[in-house]
């Protein structure tokens, strides 16, 4: 793998509805699942290495330096409605899905990943 090979943009074979493809449910049903678990949250600041399961973030998901979300054996699924930003030594174990419009995410090299289609999927490690 080369730099940025973990994010593919503008793939014509990418499914049109990421929620149906990944979760087998609509976006509203996925949010309802997170809500039933009490996991609809305003941002990612309270998430940590013990956070596992499905979380729906209504605002930005900004991972600060040294913040860890999920773990190798207990990953997190985070759907975010706004922007996601990762700083320096932050780590995310699991799956991130952008719920709405255009998103960007800066990689460790400082080069941004740009995502221009709704419901894009980020598999970060």
pLDDT tens for 19-65 read 888 899 999 999 999 999 999 999 999 999 999 999 999 998 888 88
Say how many domains are in the chain.
1
Least confident window among 12-16, 33-37, 49-53, 115-119:
115-119
Looking at the domain assignment, is residue 1 inside a domain?
A: no
Looking at the domain assignment, is residue 15 inside a domain?
A: no
Beta bridge partners of 104: 114
- Domain residues for the domain of 51 are 27-122
Looking at the domain assignment, is residue 76 inside a domain?
A: yes
Looking at the domain assignment, is residue 2 inside a domain?
A: no
């Amino acid at each position: 793998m080369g730099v940025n090979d973990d994010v593919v943009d503008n793939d014509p074979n990418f499914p049109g509805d990421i929620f149906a493809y990944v979760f087998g449910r609509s976006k509203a049903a996925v949010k309802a699942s997170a809500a039933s678990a009490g996991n609809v949250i305003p941002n990612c600041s309270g998430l940590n290495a013990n956070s596992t399961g499905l979380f729906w973030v209504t605002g930005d998901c900004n991972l600060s330096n040294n913040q860890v979300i999920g773990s190798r054996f207990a990953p997190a699924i985070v759907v975010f409605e706004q922007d996601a930003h990762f700083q320096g030594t932050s780590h995310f174990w699991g799956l991130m899905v952008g719920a709405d419009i255009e998103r960007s995410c800066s990689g460790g090299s400082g080069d941004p990943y740009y995502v221009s289609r709704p419901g894009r999927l980020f598999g970060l490690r």
